[in-house]
A = this chain, B = another copy of it.
């Protein structure tokens, strides 16, 4: 007789049903560990983002930091995205060179050399490149690099406390004044990232963050207009606010990234269900002891990420068996070392050689650690997609 099923240690996952992750029983028998993307939830997720933008009458400009893949970016454009968002010049360059027509680098570039390189490449490729500023130094760098009017957003801090200026500050006025005076920069609008929505607990809290974001941006817009500038675009974007908010005020554009894959963080926030999880690491049990099944995926595959931006997470992922008919509740990946994961088997060993699909806390760094994504169809066939902008985070 089987022992009672262990409950997963992670919070907020009580509603799991075996059927919700049924698709993951079809993963191909490849050398592990590998990063699998299930095409059915991926396409549903991309369509969900596109449908929200359409419903709200907004542009969708997905952030490619989540997948770094030309193939997935092409799917996003095919579903109506107006362009792409990238983290940094080196990441953007991969998509510029591949011919994507419009890219926003949502990162304050303060090195004129790096700005010059990406501007030159964009001009050669005919890419509509947009950049952001949040300091006078940043305005000066872009002005030094630009040789013809460059569309620039003023980055507004809407509560995350990372980049951006707040509209009630002298810094806001100073950056705005410098931007409006810069001959080679064209003030296009305002841009924000409400990353603190990841710490907002659930959909109601996230909606509160989104409302505050819109308030701050509309205040900022008034200040720009008072200073003699114009605001053609207001660009917002974080996956929680895009998926949970019901009112985007005067925003014109959405820039979600993680919505493509989703992960346990989205699940815990209540903005995704089990069937929406599009990315998992497939790993093999290589050793077992009384406490743990040891798998061949550690922090160099799953990353050490807990939940982003201050959320809580128990462990480093949740695992379901992909071979056999074991339908126990998802098991917690309790610890990681670099090439090993410790799966809490709750007293029921899985067996050496068993394969598991592990849903990570945060999908983006997992894709970043891989060079290919194994794209799995519902019939179990697969093809490999390159992580084209892999290894662009350090030079």
Contacts and interface: CB of A to CB of B under 8 A. Distances in A.
A198 to B, nearest CB: 10
A339 B88 contact: yes
A372 B33 CA distance: 24
Interface of A: 30-35, 65, 87-88, 107-111, 113-114, 134-135, 137-138, 157, 161-164, 195, 281, 284, 286-289, 291-292, 294, 296-301, 303-306, 308-310, 335, 337-340, 342, 352-353, 364-365, 368-372, 390-391, 393-395
CB-based closest 8 A-B pairs: A300-B393, A304-B304, A163-B287, A137-B352, A370-B394, A87-B339, A34-B395, A371-B391
A163 B293 CA distance: 9
Contacts of A110: 284, 286, 352-353
Nearest to A370: B394
A192 to B, nearest CB: 13
Contacts of A284: 110-111
A137 B350 CA distance: 13
Q: How many copies does the complex hold?
A: 2
Given A304-B305, A393-B369, A394-B369, A294 B162 contact: yes
B352 A338 contact: no
A395 B87 contact: no
A312 to B, nearest CB: 14
Nearest to A361: B304
Contacts of A300: 365, 368, 393-394
Contacts of A88: 296, 339
A17 to B, nearest CB: 29
Contacts of A107: 286, 296, 339
Contacts of A337: 162, 195, 308-309
Nearest to A155: B287
Contacts of A306: 304
Given A303-B304, A352-B138, A338 B33 contact: no
